[in-house]
């Protein structure tokens, strides 16, 4: 354009600077700004505001100030947008005191603060933990500008955090009663989410109860964030108590989302009966379940092996006009597999495929696992290959199922080949992948291979968990590599992990076989110090250790202790006792 002798005007330059900045080409945007001088164009307030907005996004406070000063020096008067942009940059970068000084300069330059100005400064004060200053500023704001939802979302969480629940209540009450904010919609949910992010749970609940107790809010959305958080924290019984209080005492009508999170939370802590009671209550109140809620309940039935009830609920879902999704179909297939109906699961799978269903790894996982557990390795492998034909890319979980299936069937070579195939396809093995291989190698007595995968697990950047440690320690102990087992036992303990009783039993037994009687006794003492209750296997292993070493008195002392603590001996106990 310039090469053709046609010089752009300032509007075109401003547009170019804005476009370049939005495209992430900040250097070119600044080059364009500098070129204005060559073109004998004077930057306008729009030019400066655009550049300030770019600097704000980059968090470049000092550069923003320099540009602002050069703007004033050039004779271009800033406007409210200029100040707001600069204030936002300052507040987001913990320069709220400087922002307050800028506010005074703003008024001196006859730029009047607007709603965004005040919201920005309140945000900065709250962010800096200066809640009471923010509250004072809020009252000053109301003299000239009426706050909006954003103001409340910013201010009230801070007030509730410091325990000023009554002040927070009065603010929101004033807004609702004056019709400034609807008591319906997403306002209450958004507000409570913000409060829960900042304040203690007890304070947040107190605020919510204060609001609903006077009928200020009659919408169930106020409960959603609290029920959701309690359920996430495995405190679903507390969530249920709160639900009962809000619905029964305060007359709040729950939303579908409230029911969903409550049912999900109760199922998560295995309170299925109560979850189903909530579902029945939900239907009785006329709140229609959606596909996500049905999926929760279908999944519970499938995992419980209640296949008849599973399909009854599925039919109810269809009758109510709810369209099943992929998750629904995967739950049905998984439920059939879990209830030992693998053939029906496969029939359903092929019916769905013929109807245009696009399977996912979650579709194939249960089917392949079910076939492998029935030792139908060829069928499982065929289904795996079919999965690829349907352009459903196997993930790590699918490979883990296959590796485990082949390994447990005794085909450790096939298991290793599958592991290598997974790696070659660019799928990173997870902790479970290595744990499965370690377990399978231990079961086959291939301890060198087990140690190899255990070390590869650590070198890959993953940390073995207590399950993996227990497996390899048990394997080493069983194979007579007692010193290596004790080394890993010490490593495990140094990482703060507690071995299982099974591991202690294995070590005590194998230490006895190795003639390391004192170490076996010390292992038993450590078990007791950790508060792990010995079982009959523990006592039998220790009795055997003392018996084969000729320490009859110690063997009988263990037997007496066993009887004293109420552990019932078995035939193995008497077989180990010396004559």
- Residue by residue, DSSP assigns 338-396 as HTT-HHHHHHHHHHHHHTT----HHHHHHHHHHHHHTT-HHHHHHHHHHHHHTT----H
Residue 534 near residue 528 (C-beta atoms within 8 A): yes
Query: Do 374 and 435 fall within a single domain?
Result: no
Tell me the DSSP string of 153-196: HHHHHHHHHTT-HHHHHHHHHHHHHTTSS-SSTTHHHHHHHHHH
441 and 402 share a domain?
yes
Q: How far apart are CA 270 and CA 118, in angstroms?
A: 48
- Mind listing the pLDDT tens digit for each residue in 242-270? 999 999 999 999 999 999 999 999 999 99
Residue 203 placed within a domain: no
User: 258 lies in a domain?
Assistant: no
Whether the Cβ atoms of residue 337 and residue 370 lie closer than 8 Å to each other: yes
Radius of gyration (C-alpha) of the chain in whole angstroms: 34
Give the per-residue pLDDT at 1: 45
Pick the range with the lowest mean pLDDT from 183-187, 248-252, 285-289, 466-470.
183-187
Whether the Cβ atoms of residue 224 and residue 208 lie closer than 8 Å to each other: no
Examine the pLDDT at 15 and tell me if it is beyond 80: no
Pair (532, 450) in one structural domain: no
270 class by beta-carbon count within 10 Å (0-12 exposed, 13-18 middle, 19+ buried)? exposed
Taking only the tens place, the pLDDT of each residue in 364-399 is 999 999 999 999 999 999 999 999 888 899 999 999
Domain boundary among 113, 142, 168: 113
The CA-to-CA distance between both ends of the chain, in Å, stands at: 108
Residues 361 and 451 in one domain: no
Q: Is the pLDDT of residue 289 over 90?
A: yes
pLDDT digits (tens, 9 = 90+) for 172-189: 998 888 776 665 568 999
CA distance 120 to 137: 11
- Indicate whether 469 and 506 sit together in one domain: no
CATH of the domain at 375: 1.25.40.10
Q: By three-state DSSP, how is residue 253 classified?
A: strand
pLDDT of res. 343:
96
Residue from 517, 454, 446, 456 nearest 478 by CA: 446
Q: Are residues 13 and 70 in the same domain?
A: yes
Same domain membership, residue 408 and residue 352? no
Residue 235 domain-assigned? no
Is 161 contained in some domain?
no
Residues 479 and 505 in one domain: no
Closest CA to 275 of 332, 311, 307, 231: 231
* 510 falls within a domain: yes
Domain end point (choices 89, 113, 137) = 113
Query: Where among 83, 113, 143 does a domain terminate?
Result: 113
Does 456 reside within a domain?
yes
Q: Domains in the chain: how many in total?
A: 4
Same domain for 476 and 543? no
Percent of the chain having pLDDT more than 70?
96
Whether residue 466 is found in the same domain as residue 558 = no
pTM, two decimals, is 0.81
Same domain, 330 and 373: yes
CA distance 451 to 468: 11
For the record, the structure tokens of 495 come out as 């990482």
Within-domain flag for 4: yes
Report the pLDDT averaged over residues 261-289. 96
pLDDT tops 60 at residue 4? no
Range of the domain at 350: 289-382
CB contact burial 452-484 (16+ within 10 A = b; e otherwise): ebbeebeeeebebeeebbbbbbbbbbbbebbeb
Phi first, then psi: give them for residue 219, nearest 5 degrees. -95, 130
Residue 72 lies in a domain: yes
Do 475 and 521 belong together in one domain?
no
Whether the pLDDT of residue 171 is over 80: the answer is: yes
What does the pLDDT look like over 526-577, one tens digit per residue? Answer: 999 999 999 999 999 999 999 999 999 998 999 999 999 999 989 988 888 8
**Torsion over CA: 310, 316, 318, 320 (sign):** negative
């Amino acid at each position: 354009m310039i090469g053709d002798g046609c010089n752009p005007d300032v509007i075109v330059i401003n547009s170019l600077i804005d476009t370049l900045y939005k495209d992430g080409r900040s250097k070119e945007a600044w080059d364009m700004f500098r070129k204005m001088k060559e073109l004998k164009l004077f930057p306008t307030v729009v030019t400066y505001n655009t550049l300030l907005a770019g600097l704000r996004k980059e968090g470049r406070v000092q550069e923003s100030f320099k540009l602002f000063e050069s703007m004033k020096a050039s004779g271009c008067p800033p406007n409210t947008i200029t100040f707001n942009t600069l204030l936002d940059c300052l507040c987001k970068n913990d320069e709220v005191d400087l922002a307050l000084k800028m506010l005074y300069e703003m008024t001196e330059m006859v730029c009047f603060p607007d709603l965004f100005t005040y919201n920005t400064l309140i945000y900065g004060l709250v962010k800096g933990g200066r809640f009471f200053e923010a509250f004072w500023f809020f009252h000053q704001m109301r003299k000239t500008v009426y706050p909006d939802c954003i103001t409340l979302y910013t201010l009230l969480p801070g007030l509730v955090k410091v325990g000023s629940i009554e002040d927070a209540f009065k603010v929101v009450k004033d807004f609702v009663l004056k019709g400034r904010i609807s008591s319906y919609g997403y306002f209450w949910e958004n507000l409570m989410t913000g409060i829960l992010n900042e304040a203690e749970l007890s304070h947040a609940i107190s605020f919510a109860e204060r609001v609903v107790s006077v009928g200020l809010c009659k919408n169930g959305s106020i409960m959603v964030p609290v029920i959701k958080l309690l359920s996430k924290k495995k405190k679903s019984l507390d969530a249920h108590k709160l639900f009962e209080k809000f619905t029964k005492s305060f007359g709040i009508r729950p939303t579908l989302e409230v029911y969903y999170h409550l049912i999900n939370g109760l199922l998560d802590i295995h309170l299925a009966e109560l979850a189903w009671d909530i579902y029945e209550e939900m239907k009785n109140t006329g709140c229609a379940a959606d596909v996500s809620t049905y999926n929760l309940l279908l999944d519970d039935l499938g995992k419980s092996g209640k296949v008849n009830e599973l399909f009854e609920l599925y039919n109810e879902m269809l009758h109510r006009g709810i369209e099943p999704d992929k998750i629904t179909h995967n739950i049905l297939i998984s439920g059939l597999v879990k209830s030992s109906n693998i053939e029906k699961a496969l029939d359903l799978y092929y019916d769905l495929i013929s109807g245009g269903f696009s399977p996912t790894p979650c579709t194939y996982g249960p089917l392949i696992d079910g076939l492998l557990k029935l030792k139908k390795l060829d069928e499982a492998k065929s289904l795996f290959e079919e999965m690829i034909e349907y352009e459903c890319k196997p993930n790590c979980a699918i490979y883990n199922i296959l590796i485990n299936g082949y390994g447990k069937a005794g085909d450790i070579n096939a298991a290793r080949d599958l592991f290598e195939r997974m790696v070659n396809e660019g799928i990173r093995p997870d902790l479970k992948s290595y744990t499965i291989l370690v377990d399978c190698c231990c079961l086959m007595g291939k301890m060198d291979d087990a140690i190899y995968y255990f070390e590869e697990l650590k070198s890959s950047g993953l940390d073995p968990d207590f399950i993996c440690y227990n497996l390899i320690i048990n394997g080493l102990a069983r194979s007579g590599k007692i010193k290596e087992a004790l080394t890993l036992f010490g490593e495990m303990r140094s990482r703060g992990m507690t071995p299982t009783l099974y591991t202690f039993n294995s070590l005590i037994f194998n230490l006895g076989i190795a003639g390391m009687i004192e170490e076996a006794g010390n292992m038993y003492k450590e078990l007791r110090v950790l508060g792990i209750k010995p079982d009959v296997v523990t006592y039998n292993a220790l009795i055997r250790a003392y018996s084969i070493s000729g320490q009859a008195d110690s063997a009988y002392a263990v037997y007496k202790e066993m009887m004293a603590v109420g552990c019932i001996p078995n035939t193995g106990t008497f077989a180990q006792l010396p004559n």
